[in-house]
Every structure is written in structure tokens, then in C-alpha cells.
Amino acid sequence: MNSETNCVFCRIDKSEIEAQFLHTDEFCFAINDINPVSPVHLLVIPKFHYRNFKEILDDDPKLVSHLFSLSDQLSKAHRVDQTGFRLVINQGGDAGQEIEHFHMHLLAGQQLDFPSA
């Protein structure tokens, strides 16, 4: 998938919008969320513009493994791998996805409530 010119995450990747990169490689990058909901709130974002999880699975299923592996590395780097963390993927507006570029939230650093189903 190509980058989208108005996508915030694509613009961050191209350094058009300033961000502190916690990690970057040829496939993805990680940054702090600008509106954190927990003491540790990181975003793991593929560099290619995928709107949702299905697009990644259809185009590059190995990227999924890479994103989860990076999340594990980040949990260790932030010393939350032992106390626990949550990975959240919001898909679509009804689920709370605000930016139409696939990304994962890594949440940790406090007791996280579990919403009832």
C-alpha cells in the first residue's frame, strides 16, 4: 500500500510532522501516543499505509508477526513485560479508530480496567 498524503502517521514517518521515535526500522515505527490513557501508551505503526488488519493480512502477513514482536520488545524496554500490558487494535469508527491507518496501542503502567462485554 502507498502512503496517503493527508495521513498523520504517514506524515510522521516522512518527518513532515515531528515525533519522538522510540523505534524505527524498514517496516514500522513506534511513538508515544499524544493523548495517553495510561502511564505507558505507545503506538506501533506500519510504515506502509494499511487501513485495517485485513489489508495487512492480505498483503503482508509476515508484517503482523513483526508488529507483535516489536510490541514485545517495547514492553521489555519499558519494563512492563512482567507486570502486564495490553495491545489494542481499533478497527473502524464504531471501535474508536480515529486515524484510518492501522496501528496498535500498547497500554501499561497501571492496573487496566477490563470493559464488560
Catalytically annotated residues: 103
58 contacts 1 by C-beta, under 8 angstroms: no
3-state SS track over the chain? CCCCCCCHHHHHHCCCCCCCEEEECCCEEEEECCCCCCCEEEEEEECCCCCCHHHHHHHCHHHHHHHHHHHHHHHHHCCCCCCCEEEECCCCHHHCCCCCCCCEEEEECCCCCCCCC
